[in-house]
Amino acid sequence: DVVLTQSPLSLPVTLGQPASISCRSSQSLVHSNGNTYLNWFQQRPGQSPRRLIYKVSNRDSGVPDRFSGSGSGTDFTLKISRVETEDVGVYYCMQGTSRIRTFGQGTKVEIK
Amino acid sequence: QVQLQESGPGLVKPSETLSLTCTVSGGSISGYYWSWIRQPPGNRPEWIGQIYYGGSTNYNPSLDSRVTISVDTSKNQFSLRLSSVTAADTAVYYCVRDWDGDSHFDSWGQGILVTVSS
């Protein structure tokens, strides 16, 4: 299985400051069709995961533009340009390149 | 936007079979892949398996021997059966649209907590 390793696992951030989460894959996430199926999800307390970013850097409809995704191959990053109160929650990277879909361990974002 | 809703028992006895149904509304189940995902308390989500509307399936090898996913296009539903459950199967179970032709996991149900206990 593809193993996704996120860091940090806990991220205390001051309101209005940037935040960055890393996701590293145990193997390249480039599919045979040339696409890279690395996605980012936000899970607020008591809610279902919500997709924020798909195929590395595509923002989903309704997602604030302070969220951005980047990376290639095995190294990926989710950035929040200015953290707001509503951004508190756990963030997961997830890969769909492999037949067996897998998730990272999650990064808990909290306000300092 | 398509909507998904899980239904089924919230309590299952050890060694019995967990059965859940996902009803899709606001769109057709046809043409897409659909998955079940579970999330034990405090843990990351775990992909259980997927089904194409035509009926072909793909399961996580870690659960393959106990999982069956089926689809009923006439009812716009797909279902999960997980046999011989133990306390380790206690989790929130989500149904998800797996593949929309371009990307994965864009739509999720609200989730249903299933507890395995006698």
pLDDT in tens, A75-96: 999 999 999 999 999 999 999 9
Cβ contacts (< 8 Å) between B111 and chain A: which residues?
48
Give the neighbor-by-neighbor strand order of the sheet with A4-7. Answer: A4-7, A19-25, A75-80, A67-72
Chain B residue whose CA is closest to A49: B108
Give the least confident one: A7-11, A21-25, B9-13, B97-101: B97-101
Q: What is the pLDDT of residues B26-81, one digit of tens each?
A: 999 999 999 999 999 999 999 999 999 999 999 999 999 999 999 999 999 999 99
Cβ contacts (< 8 Å) between B105 and chain A: which residues?
39, 41, 49, 51, 94, 96, 101
What local confidence, expressed as pLDDT, does residue A82 receive? 98
Cβ separation of A55 and B108 shorter than 8 Å? no
Inform me whether the C-beta atom of residue B61 falls under 8 Å from chain A C-beta atoms: yes
The model's confidence at residue B114, banded by pLDDT at 50, 70 and 90, is very high
What local confidence, expressed as pLDDT, does residue A92 receive? 98
What local confidence, expressed as pLDDT, does residue B1 receive? 84
Residue B99 has pLDDT above 90, yes or no: no
The model's confidence at residue B100, banded by pLDDT at 50, 70 and 90, is confident
For A31-39, the CB contacts below 8 A with 24+ separation are: A31/A97, A36/A72, A36/A73, A36/A97, A37/A95, A37/A96, A37/A97, A37/B103, A37/B104, A38/A69, A38/A71, A38/A76, A38/A93, A38/A94, A38/A95, A38/A97, A39/A93, A39/A94, A39/A95, A39/A96, A39/B103, A39/B104, A39/B105
Cβ separation of B45 and A58 shorter than 8 Å? no
Cβ separation of B103 and A99 shorter than 8 Å? no
How confident is the prediction for chain A on average, in pLDDT?
Answer: 97
What local confidence, expressed as pLDDT, does residue B101 receive? 83
The model's confidence at residue B102, banded by pLDDT at 50, 70 and 90, is confident
Cβ separation of A39 and B103 shorter than 8 Å? yes
Tell me which of B44, B99, B100 to substitute to probe the interface with A (most A C-beta atoms closer than 10 Å).
B44
Cβ separation of A94 and B45 shorter than 8 Å? yes
Cβ contacts (< 8 Å) between A98 and chain B: which residues?
none
* Residues of chain A where predicted confidence (pLDDT) is lower than 70: none
Tell me which residues of chain A have a C-beta less than 8 Å from any C-beta of chain B: 37, 39, 41, 48-51, 54-55, 58, 60, 92, 94, 96, 99-106
Of A37, A92, A106, the CB nearest to B104: A37
